[in-house]
Structure 1
Amino acid sequence: GFAIGLSYDIKIAGKKTRARVDGIRYQVDINNLTQREVENLPLNGIGLVDLTFDEPLVLDRYQQNPVTGGLIFIDRLSNVTVGAGMVHEPVSQA
C-alpha cells in the first residue's frame, strides 16, 4: 500500500524518477463511491495522494495527455510494480 513519507520509483513518459508520498487526501470506497479519510492507502486502493518528485518533470492532467499524465509506481527494494496513477492536478513549485 501507500503511506505518507514512503518513496517510490516512478515511470512516467518513458522516464524513471523518484517520488515521495506527502499526503493521502482520501480513499474511494468502491462499494458506494464515497470518499473517506485514511492514514494509508491499501494495496489495490483507489484514492487521491500528494506526491513530491525528486526532480522537475513535465506533467499534464491524464485526461489531457495520458503519456505525461500516467504514472507507474515501483517498489524501490523489490523492483515490483505496486500501483498506477493518473495526474489529477499538476502543481508547480518554484
Structure 2
Amino acid sequence: MERILTTQELAEWLNSKPVLSSNTTSTQIGYTLIIRDLSGLSIKDESNLTHNKYMVVANNSYGYPIDCGEEQISQLLELKIEDIKLRENES
C-alpha cells in the first residue's frame, strides 16, 4: 500500500487544503486520520505532488494518497487502517 512520509513542508502544504470533515476519524488503533481534499487541483498542476484526489493524513507521520470517487473513500479508508495495523504489528 502506497504511503508517503509527510515532511514538515508537505504537512504544511496539506494543512492548507480542505478537509472532508465527514470522513475525519479516530481509529481503534489510536491514530487520527484526516482526509485532505486535493480534487480541486489539476493533475497537471505541479503543486499537486501526489496527482491524487485525496490524501489520508495520519498522525503517524505518513500520508496515504487515494484516487477515487468520494463515495468510495470509506472503503479505501478501511484498507489504509488495515495497512497501519499491519505495519504497527511488524514493528
TM (norm. structure 2) is 0.30
- Pick the structure with more strand per residue: 1
TM (norm. structure 1) is 0.30
- Pick the structure with more helix per residue: 2
